[in-house]
Amino acid sequence: MKIVIIGAVAAGTSAAAKARRNSEDAQITVYEQDRFISYSGCGMPYFLGGEVEHAEELTPRDPEFFRSKYNVEIKTEHEVLAVSPGTKSLSVKNLRTGEFFTDVYDKLIFATGARAVTPPIPGRELEHVFTLRNINDMLRIRSFLDESKPKSAVIIGTGFIGLEMCESLSRLGVTVTLLEKLPQVTPGLDPDMAVLVEDHLKKSGITVLTGVSIDRIAGHEVLLADGTSISAELVLLSTGVRPNAELAAEAGVQLGASGAILVNDRMETNLPDISACGDCIEQFHVVTGKQVYRPLGSTANKTGRIAGDCATGGALRYRGTLGTGIFRVLGLSVAQTGLSEREAREAGYDVVVCHNTKPDKPEYFGGREMTIKAIADRANGRVLGAQIVGHEGVDKRIDVFATAITYGAKAEDLFYLDLAYAPPFSTTKDPVIYTGMILENALHGGRPLMAADELIALQRAGEPVTVIDARTVAQFEQSHVEGARNIPHSDLRGSVASLNKDAIVVTYCNKGTTGNAAQNILINNGFKRVYNLSGGMKQYSAVRKKH
């Protein structure tokens, strides 16, 4: 059997390696347009920032490695021009020699990846304007940094790569301005979590402009539609990626709504003996079961392995994606998994949302706070998604949430998780466990939450709301929710008689715990509509800045 794979980065090489493990008899050929294969694209910002010393560390494998270890023939700088499913053949061009030839296959796997989206901004062709998608891009940027030594940079787009490059350029002493056309940074996060990231960026000396429209790039300036001019000796376009699916589509392969290749759970397309994997395919979401496009390195490796297994008679099946991702920017860790609140509401879920701010380990052991936003289905309590912004231990917690969501855990299940505890690593009630407690109280314990933006909207609409600040007088005087009345927790029982039991009451403290205790007192005294402000004053302050 002859297996041909188009593409030799994460998915293509994973498919080839798994196919070989399953079959010693198969003839496996991989065509790759580039000269670099099987590289760590996610490591590129860290090479540019100096944390990875040598570019070769990101490209540890070459065609000879796959030939000697796997008996797989990888032909670099070879472009597949066309695929003919009827004859099971493909037309290939050797980019080094200019030679054209035809090859045949029994099984064909598209692993053609994705390319950077280049918005139609006048001036994008200038020599100091870059995208960062592959090793060639990385080397061009590194050469420019070494030769031109730019002092200012503009990054257009605030996704993973844009913010990782923000950190790397800042490490080099470059002054960075971030531009985002949306009203928030990190488009994958909900706005009430994105504000935490934006606040950190600004405190770290980064200029952040959201909701902006770019007119053009001219010389060493980026000009906005409102006439603002921003110094930019280097410009990075980081506005997302688009699947390389044109070759497959021309061969008759069906594409999904995103423009990526549509596959089943065995990575098979609509055409016999043709599969696809990696960043060129759509996946389906674990929670909703609907098609999504989530191009991630971890997913590329996984789907590549499944494609190679199924091409050689294996039984592996894909189980869906949660879009779990994490990145670091200027010491801050940002992670997400599952559905955002916006996605959950758009999918028709009636959601319960909580914000939980807790240290990753005890303060006496140097613990630093993280904020967890968790989303659950009000109908059955199932956890739908989570987002975390913090410093240490964010990776551990997001992986716990990803595992829980994958296996259909409910909010109450988080409380019962037997997570590891010792002071160097966690608090006795881990932030994940505490999140489960908060959600469970809101779902079934009669302790509802109100988000900061909900409270702000109610007040602006003129709705009568009694807001009780349960903190100390000193804390209240320093800052407080607009219109709040300060009744410290220790004084609340004696003040119950002065409050209207029929009014909407919102209690709060710094982060939520004392606010919940105040909520309990009022509920136990017959108050009917008492909410705890989700995330307390800390979350309210961050959200209020964007209103």
Does residue 12 carry a pLDDT above 90?
yes
Q: What is the mean pLDDT of residues 189-201?
A: 97
Q: Decide: 138 and 34 in contact? Cβ < 8 Å.
A: no
Q: Tell me the two tokens of residue 44.
A: 């590129």
Residues 6+ apart with CB under 8 A from 136: 34, 36
- Same domain, residue pair 431 and 395: yes
Backbone phi, psi, residue 374, to 5°: -125, 145
CA distances in angstroms from 445 to 130, 436, 470, 514, listed in the order given: 53, 12, 21, 17
Beta strands 221-224 and 229-231, pairing class: antiparallel
User: Looking at the whole model, is its pTM more than 0.85?
Assistant: yes
- Same domain, residue pair 423 and 352: yes
Does residue 433 carry a pLDDT above 80?
yes
- Same domain, residue pair 480 and 440: no
Residues 54-83: tens digit of each pLDDT: 999 999 999 999 999 999 999 999 999 999
- Same domain, residue pair 171 and 264: no
Give the domain CATH number at 485: 3.40.250.10
- Same domain, residue pair 96 and 15: yes
CA distances in angstroms from 265 to 110, 210, 323, listed in the order given: 15, 39, 16
Closest CA to 391 of 196, 211, 526, 251: 196
**Which of 444, 474, 493 represents a domain boundary (last residue)?**
444
Does residue 218 carry a pLDDT above 90?
yes
- Same domain, residue pair 335 and 424: yes
pLDDT of residue 545: 83
Position 123 in a domain: no
Does residue 546 carry a pLDDT above 80?
no
Position 105 in a domain: yes
Instruction: Tell me which amino acid residue 207 is.
Output: T
- Same domain, residue pair 300 and 397: no
Q: What is the mean pLDDT of residues 343-368?
A: 96
Position 345 in a domain: yes
Give the domain CATH number at 439: 3.50.50.60
Residues 75-113: tens digit of each pLDDT: 999 999 999 999 999 999 999 999 999 999 999 999 999
Split at pLDDT 50, 70, 90, the class of 471 is very high
**Better-predicted residue by pLDDT, 463 or 43:** 43
Enclosing H/E stretch for 81: strand 78-84
Closest CA to 386 of 335, 458, 312, 445: 335
- Considering its fold, how many domains does the chain have in total? 4
Domain that holds residue 89: 2-39+46-115+242-311
Residues 383-406: tens digit of each pLDDT: 999 999 999 999 999 999 999 999
Q: How many helices (H) and strands (E) does the chain have?
A: 17, 30
Residues 289-309: tens digit of each pLDDT: 999 999 999 999 999 999 999
**Which ranges constitute the DSSP H helices of 312-364?**
341-346
Position 120 in a domain: no
The residue written with tokens 């694209």 in the block is 41
Does residue 35 carry a pLDDT above 90?
yes
**Which of 215, 239, 263 represents a domain boundary (last residue)?**
239
What's the angle, vertex CA 325, arms to CA 418 and CA 168, rounded to 5? 120
Q: Decide: 83 and 109 in contact? Cβ < 8 Å.
A: no
Does residue 463 carry a pLDDT above 90?
no
Q: Is 277 a catalytic residue?
A: no
Position 318 in a domain: no
- Same domain, residue pair 498 and 455: yes
Position 324 in a domain: no
Does residue 363 carry a pLDDT above 80?
yes
User: Which H, E and C letters describe 428-440, residue by residue?
Assistant: CCCHHHHHHHHHH
- Same domain, residue pair 420 and 507: no
End-to-end CA distance of the chain: 62
- Same domain, residue pair 485 and 453: yes
Residues in the chain: 547
The residue written with tokens 């590891």 in the block is 420
- Same domain, residue pair 212 and 254: no
**Which of 444, 460, 486 represents a domain boundary (last residue)?**
444
d(CA 276, CA 7): 10
Does residue 547 carry a pLDDT above 90?
no
Enclosing H/E stretch for 495: none
Q: Tell me the two tokens of residue 76.
A: 């670099």
Position 440 in a domain: yes
Q: What is the mean pLDDT of residues 149-178?
A: 97
Neighbours of 509 (CB within 10 A): 24
Percentage of residues in the chain having pLDDT higher than 70: 100
| Burial label, 206 (beta-carbon count in 10 A; 0-12, 13-18, 19+) | buried
Q: What is the mean pLDDT of residues 223-247?
A: 97
Position 321 in a domain: no
- Same domain, residue pair 249 and 108: yes
pLDDT of residue 335: 98
Query: Which of 42, 277, 310, 354 is an active site residue?
Result: 42
